[in-house]
Amino acid sequence: MERIKVENHVFSGGLWFGAWLFTVGFLNLAFWDGVLAVVLWPYYLGIVLRPILLQ
């Protein structure tokens, strides 16, 4: 008999979702930009934080 291991990844998914919501709120993104941020949220944060980080 083979054992099946079930893993739960709720924490990592919740962390990603929370980071996405933070990005949408912090950058005041419009609806479609928020939808695009599902994939590109590090890009949007980089655009906003680049002037701060390059000082």
**What's the pLDDT band for 22 if we cut at 50, 70, 90?**
confident
Residue 22 lies in a domain: yes
pTM of the model: 0.51
34 in any annotated domain: yes
Let me know if residue 3 belongs to a domain.
Answer: no
Reported as a pLDDT band with limits 50, 70 and 90, residue 47 is confident
Q: Which position has the token pair 């990844």?
A: 9
Question: How many structural domains comprise the chain?
Answer: 1
* pLDDT for 8: 74
Name the band, by pLDDT with cuts 50, 70 and 90, for residue 35. Answer: confident
Does residue 4 form part of some domain? no
> Is 20 in contact with 37 (CB distance < 8 Å)?
yes
Mean pLDDT for the stretch of residues 10-36 = 82
Task: Tell me which residue range forms the domain holding 22.
Answer: 10-53
- Separation CA 42–CA 55 (nearest Å): 20
